[in-house]
Amino acid sequence: MMMLSLSLSLWLCVSGAGEADAEVAEALRLLAEDPPIADVQRAALEHFSVSHDDLSSYRAAARLRALLPSLTGGYLQGDNKLRRSSADQAAGFSYDPNNPQVTDNTNGVDRAFTAAATWSLGSLVFDANQIETYSLVGIQQDLLTEVTRLYYTRQHNVLALALEPPRDPRARAALMLRSREIEAMLDALTGGAWSKLRRKGR
Amino acid sequence: MPVCVLPALALALAWVEIGGGLPAGDDITAMSFGNGADDILVGTTAGYVFRTLDGGETYQPIFTPQDTEPLVEPRLHNLASAAVDDLGRGHDRNMDPRDRAGSVKAAANLAGEVRDNPQIRATPLLASLVRETARERAAVTQIQRCAPATFLLTPESLWRSTDDGLRFEQLNVGPSGLRSAIYWITCDPARKGHVALNTAAGVLESFDLGETFFMFGSAFPDGAKVDGIDFRADGRLVVTAQGRVFVERQGGGGYEAVCNYRRGDSVEGKLDWIWWTEGRGRPVLYLVTGDGIVVCDDGKLKRLDPLGLGRVQAEFVWIDDAEPGHILAATKHEVYESFDAGASFKLAFVVPTERSVRKLLMDGGRKGDLLVATGGQIFRRVQDDDGARKRAVAGREAAVTERLMSEAPLWQVLQTALARMELAPERVAERRVDSMFRNLMPDIAVRASYAMSASPSLRTPRFDAGADPRFPQSGAPDDFSAFARTRGGAAYWSVVAVWDLREIIADRYTSDRLWADVERLRQKMTFRVQDEWVAWGQASVKLSQAGLSRRARLFHELKRREAAAILNQMTGGGFAVFATDGAGRTRARE
- Mapped to the 3 state alphabet, what secondary structure does B173-203 carry? CHHHHCCCCEEEEEECCCCCCCEEEEECCEE
pLDDT at B582: 35
Q: How far is B160 from chain A (nearest CA, A)?
A: 16
Q: Mark yes or no for CB contact A28/B61 under 8 Å.
A: no
Higher-confidence residue of A161 and B313: namely A161
- The gap between the terminal CA atoms of chain B, to the nearest Å, is 32
Residues 456-475 of B with CB under 8 A from A: 456-464, 467-468
Residue ranges of the domains in chain B?
15-20+162-387, 21-161, 443-498
pLDDT at B530: 81
**How large is the average pLDDT for residues B246-268?**
65
Residue B159, strand partner residues? B152, B170
CB A41 within 8 A of CB B564: no
Confidence of residue B200 (pLDDT cuts 50, 70, 90): confident
Contact B128/A at CB under 8 A: yes
Residue B570 has pLDDT above 80, yes or no: yes
Residue B22 has pLDDT above 50, yes or no: yes
d(CA B358, CA B376): 9
The H-assigned helical ranges of B6-156 are 6-11, 73-89, 97-116, 124-138
Contact B108/A at CB under 8 A: no
Q: Which of B404, B518, B554 sits opposite A27 (nearest CB)?
A: B554
**How large is the average pLDDT for residues B381-406?**
61
Range of lowest pLDDT (A8-17, A104-113, A163-172, B237-246): A8-17
pLDDT at B472: 46
Residues A134-154 have pLDDT tens digits of 888 888 988 898 899 889 888
On whether the pTM is more than 0.80, the answer is: no
Strand order in the sheet with B15-17: B15-17, B377-381, B370-374, B357-362
Higher-confidence residue of A146 and B121: namely A146
Q: Mark yes or no for CB contact A108/B132 under 8 Å.
A: no
CB B406 within 8 A of CB B5: no
pLDDT at B236: 83
Neighbouring residues of B63: CB distance < 8 A, sequence distance ≥ 6 = B43, B47, B48, B49, B140, B152, B159, B165, B168
Chain A residues inside the 8 Å CB shell of B431? 126, 130-131
**How large is the average pLDDT for residues B43-63?**
85
Mean pLDDT score across all residues of chain B: 70
Residues 33-72 of A with CB under 8 A from B: 36-39, 41, 47-50, 52, 55, 59, 69
Chain A residues inside the 8 Å CB shell of B464? 99
**How large is the average pLDDT for residues A9-27?**
56
Confidence of residue B376 (pLDDT cuts 50, 70, 90): confident
Contact B403/A at CB under 8 A: yes
Please state, for a pLDDT cut of 70, what percent of chain B lies above it: 59
Residue A38 has pLDDT above 80, yes or no: yes
**Burial grade of B169 (CB within 10 A; 0-12, 13-18, 19 or more):** exposed
Q: Mark yes or no for CB contact B129/A164 under 8 Å.
A: no
Residues 7-26 of A with CB under 8 A from B: 7-11, 13-17, 20, 23-25
Residues A88-105 have pLDDT tens digits of 555 555 656 666 566 666
Picking from A5, A12, A146, A25, the residue whose alpha carbon sits closest to that of residue B557 is A25
Chain A residues inside the 8 Å CB shell of B406? none
pLDDT at A100: 58
Q: How many CB pairs under 8 A join A and B?
A: 302
Chain B residues inside the 8 Å CB shell of A7? 408, 575-577
pLDDT at A13: 37
Range of lowest pLDDT (A164-168, B401-405, B486-490): B486-490
**How large is the average pLDDT for residues B3-23?**
57
**How large is the average pLDDT for residues B385-409?**
61
**How large is the average pLDDT for residues B507-514?**
69
Range of lowest pLDDT (A69-83, B114-128, B146-160, B360-374): B114-128
Q: How far is B539 from chain A (nearest CA, A)?
A: 9
DSSP string, chain A: -HHHHHHHHHHHHH---HHHHHHHHHHHGGGTTSPPHHHHHHHHHHHTT-SHHHHHHHHHHHHHGGGSPEEEEEEEEEEEEEEEEE---TTSPPP-TTS-SEEEEEEEEEEEEEEEEEEETHHHH--THHHHHHHHHHHHHHHHHHHHHHHHHHHHHHHHHHHS--SSHHHHHHHHHHHHHHHHHHHHHHTTHHHHHHHHH-
Confidence of residue B201 (pLDDT cuts 50, 70, 90): confident
**How large is the average pLDDT for residues B294-317?**
67
Residue A43 has pLDDT above 90, yes or no: yes
Q: Mark yes or no for CB contact B550/A139 under 8 Å.
A: no
Range of lowest pLDDT (A37-41, A140-144, B506-510): B506-510
Best B99, B412, B558, B580 member to test A by mutation, with max A CBs in 10 Å, is B558
d(CA B102, CA B118): 24
Confidence of residue A73 (pLDDT cuts 50, 70, 90): very high
Residue B110 has pLDDT above 60, yes or no: no
Confidence of residue B67 (pLDDT cuts 50, 70, 90): very low
Higher-confidence residue of B103 and B120: namely B103
Q: Which of A47, A48, A123 sits opposite B438 (nearest CB)?
A: A123
Picking from B361, B404, B369, the residue whose alpha carbon sits closest to that of residue B539 is B404
**How large is the average pLDDT for residues B34-55?**
86
**How large is the average pLDDT for residues B577-586?**
37
CATH topology for B15-20+162-387? Answer: Methylamine Dehydrogenase; Chain H (2.130.10)
Higher-confidence residue of B573 and A73: namely A73
CB B340 within 8 A of CB B516: no
Neighbouring residues of A90: CB distance < 8 A, sequence distance ≥ 6 = none
Q: Which of A16, A114, A122 sits opposite B438 (nearest CB)?
A: A122
pLDDT at B438: 81
The three-class DSSP label of residue B248 is strand
Picking from B60, B335, B305, the residue whose alpha carbon sits closest to that of residue A171 is B60
Q: Which of A37, A48, A112 sits opposite B565 (nearest CB)?
A: A37
Range of lowest pLDDT (A153-162, B43-52, B56-65): B56-65
pLDDT at B347: 77
Q: Which of A13, A39, A137 sits opposite B586 (nearest CB)?
A: A39
**How large is the average pLDDT for residues B513-532?**
82
pLDDT at A194: 92
Q: Mark yes or no for CB contact B125/A149 under 8 Å.
A: no
Residue B189 has pLDDT above 60, yes or no: yes
pLDDT at B267: 39
Q: Mark yes or no for CB contact A38/B568 under 8 Å.
A: yes
Contact B546/A at CB under 8 A: yes
CB B32 within 8 A of CB B145: yes
C-alpha dist (Å) from residue B6 to B12, B203, B352, B354, B529: 10, 46, 7, 12, 17
Confidence of residue B118 (pLDDT cuts 50, 70, 90): very low
**How large is the average pLDDT for residues B71-97?**
42
pLDDT at A151: 92
Q: How far is A79 from chain B (nearest CA, A)?
A: 9
Higher-confidence residue of A129 and B67: namely A129
Confidence of residue B298 (pLDDT cuts 50, 70, 90): low
Mean pLDDT score across all residues of chain A: 78
Confidence of residue A178 (pLDDT cuts 50, 70, 90): confident
Highest mean pLDDT among B175-179, B299-303, B346-350: B346-350
The chain A residue lying nearest B542, using CA atoms, is A14
Residue B418 has pLDDT above 50, yes or no: yes
pLDDT at B334: 79
Q: Mark yes or no for CB contact A36/B566 under 8 Å.
A: no
Chain B residues inside the 8 Å CB shell of A151? 562, 565
Confidence of residue B413 (pLDDT cuts 50, 70, 90): confident
Residue B123 has pLDDT above 50, yes or no: no
Please state, for a pLDDT cut of 90, what percent of chain B lies above it: 2
Confidence of residue B282 (pLDDT cuts 50, 70, 90): low
